[in-house]
Amino acid sequence: MKMDPGKGRRRTWFVPSLLLLAATAVLGTALYPGMPNSVPVHWDGAGEPDRFAGKSVPAVFSSLLIGAGVVAFLWLLHRFLPAAAVKGGPADPQRAAIEATEGKRVLADLTPALAVLLCWLSIRGWLELAGPWTMWPPVVLLMVYAAILVVRAVRAASVPPAVPPAPR
């Protein structure tokens, strides 16, 4: 099977995503002493906190730990998607390679966007920012971005692979 030409470039998004989550955790560590004894852990649709927990490391940093788990899971999908495409994908190996490449591209492009969203949601909780304008624009942007990525991947995978010229 041919090597993915964008393999190295696409793989690099996973490391910066983890570094962004780690940098946000460092910021949270600096802000931790000044946080109130009760920290928000859930917000309603209007962006107002509706559930609180006592200030603790799990309550303050759980979204970042979940984010690291999501990034690791997406990296595993990215890593093993080509094998899954070859085993259960279309009978045409070229088609399987195109689908795997496009699937990997979606995962690689979506990962940093998810990391940014989880970091922003953590920071807004730590700084006690409330209201719909602190929550909905990033969420809607992520959903639109994800939809664009999926449409782009489906369109690219729907194009028939180029037929190599017959040998003379």
Residue 158 makes CB contacts below 8 A (sequence gap 6+) with none
Spatial separation of the C-alpha atoms in residues 107 and 101, rounded to whole Å: 10
| pLDDT for 1 | 41
| pLDDT for 119 | 94
Residue 110 makes CB contacts below 8 A (sequence gap 6+) with 74, 145, 146, 149
Spatial separation of the C-alpha atoms in residues 133 and 138, rounded to whole Å: 9
Spatial separation of the C-alpha atoms in residues 63 and 44, rounded to whole Å: 16
Rg for the chain, CA atoms, rounded: 20
Q: List the one residue out of 63, 21, 18, 20 whose CA is nearest residue 39.
A: 63
| pLDDT for 163 | 63
| pLDDT for 84 | 63
Spatial separation of the C-alpha atoms in residues 12 and 46, rounded to whole Å: 36
Tokens of residue 44, six digits: 């309603």
| pLDDT for 60 | 95
pLDDT digit string, tens, across residues 47-79: 888 899 999 999 999 999 999 999 999 999 888
pTM: 0.77
